[in-house]
Structure 1
Amino acid sequence: MELDVNYMIDTFFLALGGISVTLQITIVALLVATPVAFFMAISKIYKVSIIKQIVSGYVSLIRGTPMILQILIIYSLVPSLINMIVKGLGWDFNVFDVNPIIYAYIVFSINTSAGLSEVFRSALLTVNVGQLEAAHAIGMSTVQAYRRIVIPQALVVALPNICNLTINLIKGTSLVFMMTVKDITAIAKIQAAFGYNYIESYIDIFLIYIIICSITQLLFALVEKHFGSYKSLKNA
């Protein structure tokens, strides 16, 4: 089998146009999930009775089900149910006119919040509780203690896991083509359909995701180095 190199080059640059969509979904998911995940982590650490049970069930459910299934439910089943309710109430609103990227935001925000909550919880638990007690002793409130003492230290510990989660999130966005969102994968697959050049398109997709994930790892490595240096200076 001979690869069509010219097709690969053309499709590679066309597929690069989908990077903005991939990064947009990734950034929105992280921004939405971060405060939610932090709240869930705190509720589990402090064992807030009912909330802790709800959070534990939520995390188990999301982490225990395939993302494809979550996409099918939120993109296909939920809109159909909402449409039935809307029509039943006599409202003039077509749920299916909603931009499909909104569903992508919802799916990946839900998924990310579950994983990120465990990252935050494990990182926060590495900070000695004595530091929080010492902060209270000098007159700091719990919020001030967390903002100035606990969170900066926990962030250093959490960064490698946040990096892994972000990379998995970026790779996971390749499934948004199932929601008719024109990302990297969707653009390459559409191009492949014209001449059945699927092998070449898949190679292009592979290369683009390798590049994006490598750059992401490099950026996180620089951030870790910065915070690591800061931590060393503080401990010196």
Structure 2
Amino acid sequence: MRLDPTFIWTALTMLLSAIPTTLAITAVSMLCGLVIGTAVALIRIYKVPVLHRAANAYVTFIRGTPMLTHLLLIYFGLSFVLDSLSSRYGWSFNSVSIPMIGFAYTAFSITAGAYLSEVVRAGLLAVNKGQLEAAYSIGMTTRQAMLRIVFPQAFAIVLPNLSNSTISMLHGSTLAFTVSVVDMNAKSQIVASANWKFLESYIAAAILYWGLTIVIERLASVMEKRMQVHSRGGVS
């Protein structure tokens, strides 16, 4: 087998059309996961009755099982539940009408939520409790204090971990091809199978993933520098 360098460029151009799907899976999963993770972190920190135990079980289960398992459980389990309810109550809805990418969004958001809950919890606990007490002393409510004082500081603390989690999700999104979502990984396999240029196609995919990873790292670095300047009272 001989390497065809010219086809690497051809494969790169063919894979570009799959970048939006890969980025969409990563972005949606991280944003939804951050919302879920923040809620779970607050529930665990304040030990909300009943929900506290459920949150602990959720984090333990998700962190203790593979990401691919979550995707398959959602794909088959959610379809089964929705079709059963539809059949029982006479709904016209059917799981077949759900876009395949919807299962990826759901599964990966749930996965990200468990991991990000630990990141957010660590960030919130790292903020000095005295600042929360100071906020109460000037008449702020808990909601105001959390939004204006605690969360901004916690975000600055966890930003490096958030960027790492985003990169992990970008790489984990390759599993979406399991449920027939054509992301960059799936596209590279399609290109390789159609042209019998497997090594070249996978090299092209690796270059694109590497490039996207560098972009995420650079953006996180810029945000981190801006937040450091802001915390010192400078002008960004």
Please give the range of the TM-score, normalised by the shorter of the 2 chains. over 0.9
Hey, what does 1:37 align to over in structure 2?
37
Residues 53-78 of structure 1, C-alpha deviations (whole Å, 9 max, x = no match)? 11110011111110111111112343
State the 1:85 CA deviation.
4.1
Hey, what does 1:104 align to over in structure 2?
104
Residues 114-170 of structure 1, C-alpha deviations (whole Å, 9 max, x = no match)? 111111100010111111111101111111111221111111101011011111011
Secondary structure of the 1:48 match is coil
- The runs of at least 4 aligned residues of structure 1 exceeding 4 Å deviation read none
2: CA distance, partners of 1:36 / 1:84: 27
Hey, what does 2:117 align to over in structure 1?
117
Hey, what does 2:11 align to over in structure 1?
11
* Structural RMSD (CA): 1.6
Q: Percent identity?
A: 37
State the 1:233 CA deviation.
2.2
Hey, what does 2:141 align to over in structure 1?
141
Hey, what does 2:52 align to over in structure 1?
52
Secondary structure of the 1:125 match is helix
Contact 2:82 2:94 in 1 (8 A): no
1: CA distance, partners of 2:169 / 2:213: 10
Letter in 2 for 1:34: L
Contact 2:59 2:114 in 1 (8 A): yes
1: CA distance, partners of 2:35 / 2:89: 34
TM-score (norm 1): 0.93
Describe the shift of the 1:89–1:143 C-alpha distance in structure 2 as closer, same or farther (beyond 3 A).
Answer: closer
Hey, what does 1:227 align to over in structure 2?
227
State the 1:201 CA deviation.
1.5
2: CA distance, partners of 1:4 / 1:77: 43
Letter in 1 for 2:195: G
1: CA distance, partners of 2:46 / 2:77: 36
Query: Where does 1:36-185 land on structure 2 (aligned, <5 Å)?
Result: 36-185=36-185
2: CA distance, partners of 1:154 / 1:9: 43
Q: Name the stretch that deviates more: 99-108 or 34-43.
A: 34-43
State the 1:34 CA deviation.
2.1
Describe the shift of the 1:228–1:198 C-alpha distance in structure 2 as closer, same or farther (beyond 3 A).
Answer: same
Letter in 2 for 1:61: F
- The answer on 1:21 being equivalent to 2:16 is no
Secondary structure of the 1:49 match is coil
2: CA distance, partners of 1:42 / 1:97: 35
- The answer on 1:216 being equivalent to 2:216 is yes
Describe the shift of the 1:144–1:78 C-alpha distance in structure 2 as closer, same or farther (beyond 3 A).
Answer: closer
1: CA distance, partners of 2:59 / 2:147: 25
Residues 204-234 of structure 1, C-alpha deviations (whole Å, 9 max, x = no match)? 1111100001110000000000001111228
Q: Name the stretch that deviates more: 93-102 or 74-83.
A: 74-83
- The answer on 1:200 being equivalent to 2:188 is no
State the 1:91 CA deviation.
3.5
Describe the shift of the 1:136–1:206 C-alpha distance in structure 2 as closer, same or farther (beyond 3 A).
Answer: same
Letter in 2 for 1:150: V
Mind listing any 5+ residue stretches in structure 1 that lack a counterpart?
none
State the 1:81 CA deviation.
4.4
Letter in 2 for 1:228: Q
1: CA distance, partners of 2:95 / 2:144: 44
TM-score (norm 2): 0.93
State the 1:39 CA deviation.
1.5
Secondary structure of the 2:65 match is coil
